[in-house]
A and B are shown apart, each in its own frame.
Chain A
Amino acid sequence: MYKRESTMKKSNVNIETEIDRTLNLLDEMKPLEVNHFFRVRLMQRIEQESEQRSNKLAIGRGVGKIDLRFAFMALLIIINVASAIVSLIHTDSPVRAGISEMLDSQGYDYARPAYAYYDPTGTFPSDAETNSNKNP
């Protein structure tokens, strides 16, 4: 039992030693020296970013312009087409009405018995009636 306790104590001591060694790694870490090119790379990156940003703005403005133009053109086309459709719809019905009225009136005029070339009852006019019509 004494041996077991001492074995356990030794293993605990070993574990604590290992823990201390592991934690001490942080204290043993030597500070890094700054690479000579660190600032050079950084300033290059800053310059690239600034250029990209200014390019994006320019493209954005350009793209915005193009988009606006296309949008305006599309709007004009839509308005024109719509107004053409609307005007066709509205102008058709009065014309048709006029034409049909004309046809109706003419039909009515020419359908009267006075203008008929034939007697709808089936009798033909006599010669006397025809002559009297010729020589009133």
Chain B
Amino acid sequence: MGNNKGIAKSGMTSQEELFRNLVIEHQEMVINTCYRFVFNREDAEDLAQEVFVEVFRSLDRFREEAKMSTWIYRIAVSKSLDHLRRMKRKKRFGSLKRLIGSEDPGEDIAASLSDTPAETYVGQERMKILQDALDTLPDSQKTAFLLSKQEGFSNQEIADILKTSVSAVESLVHRAKKNLHDKLYAYYANN
């Protein structure tokens, strides 16, 4: 993540030009951050669009209390978590739809991670198991764990995004790993 103080303090560029530069600099990181949460390319891109729209709306209110990049990724995390909550509610409603027979089987197909159909199927199954396990984690543990797995985020940067300390981040990651392990163990022991 680069130093954004120069861009933020520049009085030479117009707001739109400033915004365009921000998008160019951070779009990849924002899309991949959202992708880590939602495991779906289309959803990740849609979320990234919403993140930048929010950034554009709130650019005037940015008070430089944190780095611009920290602020942007904080919005990305927040939007991703909101999306996951919506999907959870949709799943609950989906079970009702299944009962009455109006569910669309194509709705839940996630992006493929591999090339062959067999690998795709196995990969998707395993991905779903992982997603279900991640859904059981509290937001703070989930965020710390997923960001720690993503290149480009140090523990200090994760702490800045979560507005907490480095030691707290390490503790969150440790607890997340333990909880995930327990969930997955229970799943594989019974299946």
Interface residues of A (CB under 8 A from B): 11, 14-15, 18-19, 21-23, 25-29, 31-35, 38-39, 41-43, 45-46, 49
Contact = CB atoms under 8 A, between A and B. Distances in A.
Nearest to A17: B188
Contact of B149 (A14, A22, A27): A27
Nearest to B151: A31
A13 to B, nearest CB: 11
Interface residues of B, number: 36
Contact of B28 (A27, A29, A31, A41): A31
A82 B127 CA distance: 75
Contact of A39 (B27, B130, B185): B27
A41 B72 CA distance: 19
Given A25-B130, A45-B49, A18 B184 contact: yes
Minimum-distance CB pairs A-B, first 7: A19-B184, A15-B188, A26-B149, A18-B188, A31-B32, A22-B130, A34-B28
Nearest to B123: A25
A32 B149 contact: no
Interface string B48-92: 110011001100000000000000000000000000000000000
Contact of A28 (B19, B113, B185): B113
A29 B36 contact: yes
Contacts of A19: 181, 184-185, 188
B80 to A, nearest CB: 14
Q: Is the interface of A mostly helix, strand, loop or mixed?
A: helix
Given A25-B127, A32-B44, A46-B52, 5 more contacts: A19-B185, A31-B151, A38-B49, A39-B20, A49-B56
Contacts of A49: 53, 56-57
B162 interface: no
B183 to A, nearest CB: 9
B24 interface: yes
B41 interface: yes
Contact of B45 (A18, A29, A31, A38): A38
B129 interface: yes
B100 interface: no
A38 B31 contact: yes
A108 B113 CA distance: 115
Nearest to B49: A42
A41 B189 CA distance: 46
B23 A21 contact: no
B49 A34 contact: no
B48 A26 contact: no
Contact of A34 (B19, B31, B180, B188): B31
